[in-house]
């Protein structure tokens, strides 16, 4: 059984109450909205996998997870696409 009793400081409770009031919500509704807006690690991993699959489908080239993990994703996509295009047979040579 999950313990649903949450201990927060008075300062935190007051802050949440003020935020909730500004939004016309109860503290519980605000906490629900905040929890819904923040994905878990597993949800983030699913989102990343879906985004990578979509990118592969849209750009029409196979991009490895390692290439996606690089910091300069856009630059890497440009480089990978250029390499793929340069490796294609010349269409005008038919």
End-to-end alpha-carbon separation of the chain, Å?
Answer: 70
d(CA 20, CA 31): 9
Quick: pLDDT tens for 26-82: 999 999 998 888 888 899 888 888 888 888 888 777 777 777 776 566 777 788 888
What pLDDT score was predicted for residue 54? 84
CA atoms within 13 A on the CB side of 70: 14
Whether the CA torsion 72, 48, 43, 20 is positive or negative: it is: positive
- Angle between helices 10-23 and 27-37 in degrees, nearest 10: 90
């Amino acid at each position: 059984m999950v313990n649903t009793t949450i201990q927060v400081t008075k300062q935190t409770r007051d802050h949440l109450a003020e935020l909730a009031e500004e939004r016309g919500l109860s503290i519980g509704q605000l906490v629900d909205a905040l929890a819904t807006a923040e994905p878990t690690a597993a949800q983030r991993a699913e989102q990343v996998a879906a985004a990578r699959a979509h990118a592969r489908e849209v750009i029409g080239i196979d991009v490895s997870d390692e290439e996606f993990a690089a910091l300069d994703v856009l630059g890497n996509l440009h480089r990978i696409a250029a390499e793929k295009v340069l490796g294609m047979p010349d269409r005008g040579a038919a």
